[in-house]
Amino acid sequence: MQKSGVIMIIKQLELGPDKVFCYIAACGETCEAVVIDPCGDEDKLLGTIKQLHLTVLYIINTHCHPDHTCSNQAIRKATGALIVRHEADELLLQEPEAAEYFARQGFTPSPPADKTVKDGDCLALGRYSLEIIHTPGHSPGSICIYVDNNLFTGDSLFVGAAGRVDVPGGDFTTLIHSLADKIAVLPDETIIWPGHDYGGTKTSTVAREKKENPYLGGEW
């Protein structure tokens, strides 16, 4: 939801050994903020938060994979923000096979979520409301975050590509349905903010992805 005359601040930071896109989204009026997928280089991330004089309310994980969550603990300790994940990914992390697979990747493990969400839930952020859109497929609890004509897609959708499914809880058919039913139906001008820089540009739009991305616009 957009509030007239209020600016939404968005900072896209490529951080960590896997070069994940971490985002800071904030209300320009209240300076309340969320951090999406803190993924390394905590000093740089915290420096940006301090420079903008922001108060971080939530750390939102688009999914539970450790390259996107490895700074949860450090950022929560520094800011007091609550860790937010979809309930399905919180359950996935409790499965021994999945936990062992993720531990082998060598990232700092995340604490459990302080708050779990489901499709359609909203989080207040100053004069804005962040809508949680459940887009399973890359993981059972993958989510996108929709606010003010911006969509933070994590690893569900990239510029020109989509997330891998050869990981615990991944499923190709589920992912394709998520992209068609949850993302392709959004307004064409919606700005896509992906989880990695895997395309020719760092951002895109729903219209462009429907035209150029075989996973969003193709027939399977």
Gap between the Cα atoms of 138 and 163, Å rounded? 6
Q: Is residue 22 over pLDDT 80?
A: yes
User: What pLDDT is recorded for position 219?
Assistant: 58
pLDDT band of 100, cuts 50, 70, 90: confident
For the record, the structure tokens of 68 come out as: 């996107």
Element (H, E) at 47: helix 42-51
Gap between the Cα atoms of 147 and 95, Å rounded? 32
Model confidence pLDDT, tens digit, residues 27-66? 999 999 999 999 888 999 999 999 999 999 999 999 999 9
**For 54-80, what is the HEC assignment?**
CEEEEEECCCCCHHHHCCHHHHHHHHC
Domains of the chain: 8-217 (3.60.15.10)
**DSSP-derived secondary structure letter, 196:** B
Model confidence pLDDT, tens digit, residues 9-21? 999 999 988 899 9
In terms of Cα–Cα distance, which of 160, 157, 141 is closest to 195? Answer: 157
Model confidence pLDDT, tens digit, residues 174-201? 999 999 999 999 999 999 999 999 989 9
